[in-house]
Amino acid sequence: MKVEGLVSSLRNAETVEELFSILKKKGAPVMDLEGMKKLVIIEGDFEGKQFYTEINGLKANMALGDAMLNASSVPFKCKKPFTGGNLIFVDYDNIEAEEFVLAYKAENTGVYFHVKGGEAREISKEEYEELKDKMPEFKVKGYSEEEMEGMGAFFG
């Protein structure tokens, strides 16, 4: 699938539940995009209500840390005004954790997944809550110390 196709399909979402449903139908959270396996993270705002991704109970930006610098991000909009956010694509090859749980969440709603060996299966909220503290640490290859120092001038 192409990124543009995914972004254009999200434009049809009229509710946050519909947004999550479209992502799920397209294969999220682990998708093959243009021949590369990616972990799909979302964050944004739906008519004033935040939606976000959790990995093992932590907001994704905290779980990913400096690996977010290695991820590509694409903005998207939905059908209604003041709705949209960012799709963040993490190269699956950079994920060092063999197993983790992931949730796309918003106020009073969410979809939950257990990812093991690169395959995702939908689970209940109860299963997610039970598993999140039992998962191994979620690690993604970030930049090395030398690479970070080399970018020091770039980041100030």
pLDDT at 71: 80
CA dihedral (141, 71, 17, 85) positive or negative: positive
Enumerate residues 6+ apart whose C-beta is below 8 A from 131: 101, 114, 123
pLDDT at 135 over 80: yes
pLDDT at 129 over 80: yes
Mean pLDDT, all residues of the chain: 87
Q: Domain residues of the chain, as ranges? A: 3-151
The one-letter code for the residue type at 126 is E
pLDDT at 152: 54
pLDDT at 11 over 80: yes
pLDDT at 143: 54
pLDDT at 24: 95
SS3 35: coil
The rounded distance, in Å, linking the Cα atoms of 126 and 145 is 39
Structure tokens belonging to residue 66: 């400096």
What percent of the chain has a predicted confidence (pLDDT) above 70? 88
pTM for this model (two decimals): 0.86
User: What is the pLDDT averaged over residues 61-75?
Assistant: 79
pLDDT at 16: 92
Helices (H), strands (E): how many in the chain? 6, 9
Average the pLDDT over each of 61-65, 72-76, 84-88, 112-116 and give the range with the smallest value.
Answer: 61-65
CA dihedral (5, 9, 38, 149) positive or negative: positive
pLDDT at 54: 96
pLDDT at 43 over 90: yes
Average the pLDDT over each of 24-38, 61-75, 84-98, 140-154 and give the range with the smallest value.
Answer: 140-154
